[in-house]
Structure 1
């Protein structure tokens, strides 16, 4: 099982089916906050929807196409971070993440994203890690900016969010740059 202890209070571990109730409750409790930037929240109505999501993520992990982890803060699931897609042919992975509103502002996501990027560069031997965030989602954009990712550009109308398009900022980190950090 994939697990990475980040500090005494923080770790990430591979998502499991037994996490479904907590992940759904966290999503549901923070629904109004999360739905502003995360389109999948609109289609997550039940624990069964979350179970289906976890099943797809477990299959993707088995196929070496993604890694989905829960973020544990003081032993409690507070969000998720993962490689939403891994393209081994070009040695590139794409990070996605979300965190319950009550847990923001403590550096949790920056530390968790750093740990996942370390894993991708060191263990998976990736050449590049990419993070995309809606231009207006300043909290999400601070994560790659704090980690020294390069803003590579903006994709106009790059994502559909429930009822409108949003522009998407693209950040990238190359292995040679990461090792210099």
Structure 2
């Protein structure tokens, strides 16, 4: 298996990948942070399409076209809000990554970009979230037959360093 994991500091809306992952809210109708940026860059077609999906529960994922993004697809997933760690947050965050892979199963894709799910306004402790993300993505890649390039796309250098450290462990 020739899957590769890379970390970069970039604007996820500008990446030329097959799938970008949106850290969405349950309505799927846009919000702040990554969600708002993806909705703005994708254009009004994304909002119209998302209105037909009926939302998305925490830990689940939904797939839409990329509309005006360079990416062909958007996998929307709803990360957990951090409440101290005793409300199943780790399992829900792990489910986000697993369900994104399930969503894109069957698509002929070569690349996917993940933001730091739940690390913004949902206040998940970054080091814990990164450890879950790396572990879950690595286990999902091990199950795939076709190689896949995975990008952990970070808003800042601090988060990128956390991913790089986790990948070395």
Same fold (TM > 0.5): no
TM-score under structure 1 length normalisation: 0.39
Structure with more strand by fraction? 1
**Which has the higher relative contact order, 1 or 2, with Cα contacts under 8 A spaced 6 or more apart?**
2
Structure having the higher Rg: 1
TM-score under structure 2 length normalisation: 0.41
